Amino acid sequence: MAKSCTGKDVAERIGYITRVQSFSACHRLHSKCLSDEENKRVFGKCNNPNGHGHNYKVEVTVRGKIDRHTGMVMNLTDLKKYIEEVIMIPLDHKNLDRDVPYFADVVSTTENVAVFIWDSLCTVIPDGLLYEVKIHETDKNIVVYRGE
């Protein structure tokens, strides 16, 4: 068995793989639990009745042992397929509040979009591999969710 410079067997190595994908969607930050005045105060211009849009960038990271036979934590082709299935098809070029049933009663903040993506990915990615979902709502606003 090959040893690393730290003395660990190569088969004991843990790797992280991140796939980046962009999607566009619109939404309106509005809580049914708040009055119209409270929504305007809490969400400001993001409470615009006609909504607003973002070009989101999402990073999906998996973590696991590097397979000694394939040299992979996970096949990137599979990860790409999972992202297409649970992020791109349901979210890209959609009105999150109207087109995605999850957001009928959940405020479509980027935090909640990250939770939606995490929960959706958990249904297709093998157990224990999903490590992190990071969403860039803008160049300056980034949300990280690790299933906690």
Residue 136 three-state SS: strand
Check if 93 is active-site: yes
Whole-angstrom Cα distance, residue 110 to residue 117?
10
Of 26, 46, 85, 111, which is the active-site residue?
46
Reference 117, options 19, 14, 15, 16; nearest CA is: 19
Rg of the chain, C-alpha, whole Å: 19
Of 27, 30, 136, 137, which is the active-site residue?
137
Of 38, 52, 93, 122, which is the active-site residue?
93
DSSP letter, residue 3 = B
Check if 137 is active-site: yes
Q: Cβ of 119: how many Cβ atoms within 10 Å?
A: 14
The answer to whether the beta carbons of residues 26 and 95 sit under 8 Å apart is yes
Annotated catalytic residues are 46, 93, 137
